[in-house]
Amino acid sequence: MYIDKALQFSDAQAVTADAVSENITDLKAAASPHATADQTIGQEKMYLVMIVDVAFLTTVSMDVSLRSSDEVTLNSGHVTHATKNILLAALTAGSKHVIGTFDGPINERYVGAYYDMNTNATAGAVTTFLTKDIDQGWPLA
């Protein structure tokens, strides 16, 4: 599986409370390989993937979303493109989750992941990214 660093939103990011991914892609930045005149990506099917690096403890569940916004914090005026609720029992180290498929376009300037914890966790870390392909056998539901 190919992981584009410009579309990797979290890399072993600790998430114990509601949080925006540590990396936000600016689709209008001149240096962005995804920058276009009309600010769109997602002309083909992509998957939002999350891998749990450190098992989560003491939370009930978390919602993981792909968000875009014209604001860099992704908090106001955001558009949610894919989301999935994952229960604590599934948030084990090494587990792989396909949050959803997305076939764009994204018209806002910034794109990233958002983690909404049902209750705060005492531990947990994830790697999250957009990719055009996933390995065989990965759960799609």
**Tens digit of pLDDT for each residue in 80-132?**
888 999 999 999 999 999 998 887 778 888 999 999 999 999 999 999 999 88
* pLDDT for position 84: 95
Q: Where are the domains of the chain?
A: 5-131
Q: Tokens for 61, please give them.
A: 């569940």
**Tens digit of pLDDT for each residue in 14-37?**
999 999 999 999 988 755 555 554
* pLDDT for position 39: 44
Q: Does domain 5-131 have CATH number 2.60.120.1110?
A: yes
**Tens digit of pLDDT for each residue in 43-59?**
678 889 999 999 999 99
* Cα gap 2→133, rounded to integer Å: 7
What is the average pLDDT across 63-73?
94
Candidates 52, 49, 59; CA nearest to 113 is 49
pLDDT band at 38 (very low <50, low <70, confident <90, very high): very low
